[in-house]
Amino acid sequence: MQERNFADILNDIGGIDARADLTEGWTQGRAVFGGLVAALLARGMTHTLSAPKSLRSLMVSFIGPAPAGTVRVQSELLREGRNVTQATARLYDGDAVCAQAMAAFGTDRETKAVASELPFAPEARDSVPPMDSAVRLLPAFLKHFDVHWTGGGIPMSNQKARRLGKWVRHKDDMSAMPMEALVAVADIPPPVMMSHYDRPVMASSLSWSLEFVTPPESVKPGWFYLDYSLEAAAGGYSQQSGRIFTEGGDLVALSRQCMVYFE
């Protein structure tokens, strides 16, 4: 199958029951990039809405590896209220469920507001060169992104890091799909626990929660700074959290993942 870009794949999802063709260039190991899987599920759930609403939270369970090839995305409305709508979606490889998601979509209310005070202290993007597959073995999907890895957490580096920082943007124009673009960017960091090894280890996401501080359709795609921290790891499970900022320092989303790793 000819290589396809992010927007082309997402455009396959035209309703609540749709099929998408995923190409090998979007894989990470034996599975398709989880950020693409989550974006497909989120897009599918937008088709359950009777009127546009902003994605406020997304919860994904990665049940099995989604392979390159044709997959099916089936979405269902759970409840539609005046302000909040909740929906669910599943991604299938044949009859096997690869991932399941739930999402809450909501409109703004007139309320008091409290601005975020989470610190934005990124390393300068030009302080390090972009990631280069000729220098370091990289997952296939990363060729679709520009990535400057500015803070620790590099897999197999034996740094024993507790955090990582990186600047990321899509190489393709994603202005027509800001929500899906942001979902994909937020899932690019690997398990920080992988930096505690000096050799390859298998690792993957088990569950992922993404909360949007700003309606994602109002966030212009471009450079984002990702600041992710390892909170704990034991018994083959690790917990990490993350913050996603715009280039100008606006906090747009909060990430939390339970990940598994295998020695």
Task: Return the structure tokens found at 59.
Answer: 């919860």
Question: pTM of the full predicted structure?
Answer: 0.95
The predicted structure's pLDDT at residue 51:
95
CA angle, residues 124, 126, 129, in degrees to nearest 5:
125
Q: Where are the domains of the chain?
A: 6-107+117-262
- Tell me the per-residue pLDDT of 239-261, one tens digit each, with 9 for 90 and over: 999 999 999 999 999 999 999 99
- Tell me the per-residue pLDDT of 194-234, one tens digit each, with 9 for 90 and over: 999 999 888 999 999 999 999 999 999 999 999 999 999 99
Which CATH architecture group holds 6-107+117-262? Beta Barrel (2.40)
**Average pLDDT, consecutive stretches of 10 residues, N- to C-terminus, the chain (263 residues):** 93 98 94 97 98 97 96 98 97 98 95 88 84 71 93 89 95 96 97 93 94 96 96 97 96 97 89
The predicted structure's pLDDT at residue 263:
84
Q: How far apart are CA 21 and CA 2, in angstroms?
A: 10
